[in-house]
Amino acid sequence: MSETRRTPLYARHVELGARMVDFAGFAMPVQYDSIKNEHRAVRETAGLFDVSHMGQIHLSGKTALESAQRLLTCRVDTLEVGQVRYGLLCNSDGGCVDDVTVYREGPSEFMLCVNASNIEKDRDWIRDGLVPGSEIRDRSSETGLLAIQGPKSAELLDRLCHAGEEPNPSALGRFRFSAYTTQAGPVLISRTGYTGSDGFEIYLPAEVSRALFDLLLETGQADGLVPAGLGARDTLRLEAALPLYGHELDDTTSPLEAGLARFVKRKQGGFIGHEAIEAREKQGRSRQLVGFELLERGIARADYPIVSGGRQVGRVTSGAPSPSLGTSIGLGYVPPENAAPGTELAIEIRKKNVKARIVTTPFSKNS
């Protein structure tokens, strides 16, 4: 067992009274006050997350674009400098190595933001898949990452950035990023997130993380900004039906089964796993990711059986009570014939079948 790692904000979380848990080998705050309150703050005002556990792998060299096109399922050739896109890294069997966001920082410079649990795996896999003339550098440990999410985040962030020639962060379009100078130092801000609400992610040198975290909290407190933990991050992303690697995605799941076809350049091709993905599609899909809501009391947790006609047809990948909807929701894999919205089936919870219904996602209209 390797030792639990700490983000630069560890001591600050403890000071704020956070309950710390081990997540992907990092000691992370799961909640400060209450998950429900933190969730509500993000939907109604704003929440501040430390997500410094996530990894950043930089790709450069004269063939960097070629490498990125080969490694990622999404199109990178059409990505403009200053634009960011969601995509997947697939293995040669068409399963998902990871789901990532790719930032184009220059014509031949890219940054991949990857899941904490996959940093080492991704690094090795990317290195093996590089076209000659490309190189990578893992800057995960020297990079801090904060996420400010919620309808008030644009206004709060503007206050901290010097008004120069650069437009304020509020002027950034969705999935755009730019460099800014804050009172705490230089940062890179992108209009992205993992909550289903408007918001920003802020990449910065690890040693500056604490100063900016405190500055943001101080500036935003009167407007309802609260520190938010991984618990709220999970219920927020679930309402938005955003996949979590290790739950909805893994090395055996094809992005198409996970409903992520729009992030796969099926026509253009040329990426690792393309042929396998198409071959699997041709064979016919055996399972598909769906969203469901429980019609009776209970919580559908990961790996609980999904039951139809008295037999198990699938399994739950994530589930929780939705703070925004007041119902109990979840995601899971079922055969295509059970996947239509409106289909009624059951979730087996502690040997009892609890009625559920397939619904369209995202669950929350708010997100």
Residues forming the site for another protein (CB under 8 A): 17, 19, 21, 30-31, 34-36, 231, 234-235, 297-299, 301, 320-321, 350
DSSP secondary structure letter of residue 309: T
Distances (CA, A) of 363 to 112, 145, 239, 290, 325: 28, 27, 5, 11, 8
**3-class DSSP assignment, residue 149:** strand
- Cβ of residue 351: shortest distance to another protein, in angstroms? 12
- Cβ of residue 39: shortest distance to another protein, in angstroms? 10
Residue that is written with structure tokens 């609980």 in the block: 304
CA distance 281 to 274: 11
**3-class DSSP assignment, residue 224:** coil
- Cβ of residue 189: shortest distance to another protein, in angstroms? 30
By residue count, the chain amounts to 367
CA distance 137 to 199: 27
- Cβ of residue 21: shortest distance to another protein, in angstroms? 7
CA distance 244 to 27: 18
Of the pair 266, 301, the CB lying nearest another protein is at 301
CA distance 186 to 207: 12
Of the pair 31, 317, the CB lying nearest another protein is at 31
Of the pair 19, 174, the CB lying nearest another protein is at 19
Of the pair 29, 95, the CB lying nearest another protein is at 29
- Cβ of residue 12: shortest distance to another protein, in angstroms? 17
Helix (H) or strand (E) holding 148: strand 143-149
Of the pair 31, 69, the CB lying nearest another protein is at 31
Helix 119-129 / helix 64-71 crossing angle, nearest 10 deg: 120
- Cβ of residue 301: shortest distance to another protein, in angstroms? 7
- In this structure, are residues 216 and 205 in contact, taking their beta carbons and an 8 Å threshold? no
Of the pair 59, 320, the CB lying nearest another protein is at 320
- Cβ of residue 29: shortest distance to another protein, in angstroms? 11
Of the pair 31, 140, the CB lying nearest another protein is at 31
